[in-house]
Amino acid sequence: MKTLQAWAMQYRLFLGILFLINVLLGITVIGQSYAIVQIVDSVFMESTTFQQIVPYLMGLAAFLLIRTFLNYTNARIGLSLSHHVRHSLRNALTTKWTKIPVEQTGESLTGSRITTLIEQIDQIDPYFREYIPQVIKTTILPLLILIAVFYVNPNSGWIMLITAPFIPISYILIGVKTQQKSERQLAELSRFSGKFLDILQGLPTLKLLGRGKEQSDILQQNNQGFQNTTLSILKIAFASSFFIELIITLGIGLLALEIGFQMLVYETLAFASAFFILAIAPEYYNSLKELGSAFHTGRGSLAAAEQISKELDKEERPVSWGSQFIEGPIRLDANSLSFQYDDGFELYVNHFTLAKQKRAVIIGPSGQGKTTLLNVLAGIYEKQQGELRLNGELRENIDENSWWKTTSYISQQPYLFSGTLRENVSMGEHYTDDEVTKALQTSGLQEWITSLPQGLDTNIGEGGRGLSGGEKQRVALARAFLKKPTMVFFDEPTVGLDVRTEQILANSIDALAETATVLTVAHRLPTIRKAEWLYVIEGGKVTAMGTPEDLLITSPYYQSLMKRGASDANTH
């Protein structure tokens, strides 16, 4: 629970208020017992008149009211503490996610992962709402009661002090015993739900194969296993609460016995004192018992806290930028450039150069690092070593905004936001409808827009739902046409596009290449054939670089590609 404790310690003011409230609560509980004792003693032992006990009755009512108010405030502060911690964790996670470099977003930022983590923040609620206030209460209340009892009758104080640890010890023993079983129960549950989902999804196939009955039996067995584990945990839970109640009863019984001896045999204790001890003892044991159950509730927050803190502690590799403004046609140069995914695939580029306004392509077998290289050169991934120069200036000295203003990056799966087509193309910049329409036309979407009843005002779902891969790329191209970049990074789709879309994409790139340096990760022969300059990537290294004529001599990969010739439309 170290992580949770550390989070709680950031809210010392709340903890201080909780401490104060519980000191007052302790005083109220003692005062309430004192008032009850005085009323009973006056009425039964001293036969006083009603008039004389009125102040005690009023005192009792006041203590009861104050106690209710303090308990309410205690719960409110717990709630508020939990709200503040969860709010700041949500903020911390969102800040973290917005800063995560693109390279890491793929591995950590899927929608379902975000949802799971945000939901897990709510699972830490019981720790702050119940456990923390209860820990503070259990630290202060029994202590104050103990001081009062020691003051009234030290012998009873000793009995209460010695019997108290049995309650937390029992809880710890039960916790240890049930932990393994609960873990097994969780495993059973996930096995059961996995199997259930699997069978449900494959039901039509199973029916066709006549295997429905067998699967139903398997499901029954899994269900039985889960039931048995749950029941065995429940058995321990029931037995344990019986055991703890027994300890409390024995503790109070022992106290009664000792008090009885002192009152009747040794006559060293007055009735009022004895009654006070017996009236306050249940408060003492109950608050210890409540800590145990709050502890179990709080433990449920543990796994969620671990997940959240793991996410928060994840190392970031942000791309560093500087203040040098960049514009005009771009030239790229790189030396000894290296990049590695967390202990995974490694890219190393000894030497790389791309002249201004050249039309270059990166080729190579699948999974060898073409996209990775494109991303490092575009400044989406941070290089680990080496130097990358843009127009002769080190990349880290370039102003990030001016770079992205000059650049268009068209990935294999461009992201479209939930919003209108106009918003998705203009991306926050101001363009007239004519300009937007023209850009969409140049990227071959003319027919498509005219078929849309709402035209540019058509709403596009999150992630471009309802648009094909080719349409998404064409919307991304339209963005590029509006931007008029001087550097274009284009990751050609690997998935098969229809001939017409392919032609439109090629024409669009041709149009962009008139005014920009274009670097394409190419998968298609027509694109490769149009290249003025080529790079071959194999095993994360640039194995050849030059004009198509150069490569026919220096690169066996390029030679074999050209040999396969026109019959092979794809390099894969």
Ligand X SMILES: Nc1ncnc2c1ncn2[C@@H]1O[C@H](COP(=O)(O)OP(=O)(O)OP(=O)(O)O)[C@@H](O)[C@H]1O
Contact residues for ligand X, defined by CB under 6 A: 106-107, 341, 344-345, 364, 366-372, 494, 521
According to DSSP, residue 524 is labeled B
Residue 468 Cβ vs ligand X, minimum distance, rounded to whole Å = 19
If the CB atoms of residues 367 and 466 are measured against ligand X, the closer one turns out to be: 367
Nearest distance from residue 361's CB to ligand X, in Å? 12
Least distance (Å) between residue 333 CB and ligand X: 21
Q: How far is the CB of 555 from ligand X (least distance, A)?
A: 16
Tokens 């799966």 sit at which residue? 413
Nearest distance, CB of residue 372 and ligand X, angstroms? 3
- How near is the Cβ of 110 to ligand X at its closest, in Å? 12
CA–CA distance, 504 with 510 (Å, rounded to integer)? 10
CA atoms in the 13 A half-sphere facing the CB of 99:
14
CB of 112 to ligand X, least distance (A): 17
Question: What DSSP line would sit under 320-351, residue for residue?
Answer: P-BSB---SS--EEEEEEEEESTTS-EEEEEE
Sheet holding 517-521, edge to edge: 393-394, 385-390, 332-340, 346-354, 541-546, 533-538, 359-363, 517-521, 487-491, 407-410
Query: Given the complex with ligand X, which of 25 and 497 has the nearer CB atom?
Result: 497
Give the residue with the Cβ less far from ligand X, 330 or 363: 363
Handedness of CA 520, 526, 532, 536 (dihedral sign): positive
* Secondary structure class of 6 (helix, strand, coil): helix
Contact 101/320 with Cβ under 8 angstroms?
Answer: no
Nearer to ligand X, 51 or 366 (CB): 366
Lookup result for tokens 């067995």:
221
- Name the DSSP class of 542: E
Cβ proximity to ligand X: between 276 and 535 the closer is 535
Contact between residue 558 and residue 525 where contact means Cβ atoms under 8 Å apart: no
How far does CA 422 lie from the centroid of its chain? Answer: 33
Q: For residue 343, with 0-12 CB atoms within 10 Å meaning exposed, 13-18 middle and 19 or more buried, which class applies?
A: exposed
DSSP states of 95-115: HHHHHS-HHHHHHH--HHHHH
| Residue 285 or 490 having the CB closest to ligand X | 490
What are the tokens at 127? 């720790």
Query: How many angstroms separate the CA atoms of 292 and 289, rounded?
Result: 5
519: β partners: 360, 489
CB 571 within 8 A of CB 538: no
Name the residue nearer to ligand X (CB basis): 42 or 413.
413
Cα(168)–Cα(250) distance, integer angstroms: 15
Is 318 or 367 the residue whose CB approaches ligand X more closely?
A: 367
Of the two residues 367 and 461, which places its CB atom closer to ligand X in the complex? 367
452 φ, ψ to 5°? Answer: -90, 125
Q: Which one, 300 or 365, has the nearer CB to ligand X?
A: 365
Q: How far apart are CA 321 and CA 438, in angstroms?
A: 34
**Shortest reach from residue 246's CB to ligand X, in Å:** 57
Residue type, 196: F
Question: 3-state class of 570 per DSSP?
Answer: strand
Nearer to ligand X, 315 or 447 (CB): 315
Least spacing, CB of residue 107 vs ligand X, in Å: 5
Minimum distance between the CB of residue 399 and ligand X, rounded to whole angstroms?
A: 27
Q: CB 571 → ligand X: shortest distance, Å?
A: 8
Nearest distance, CB of residue 314 and ligand X, angstroms: 14
Nearer to ligand X, 146 or 332 (CB): 332
Q: Please give the angle made by the CA atoms of 142, 148 and 152, to the nearest 5 degrees.
A: 140
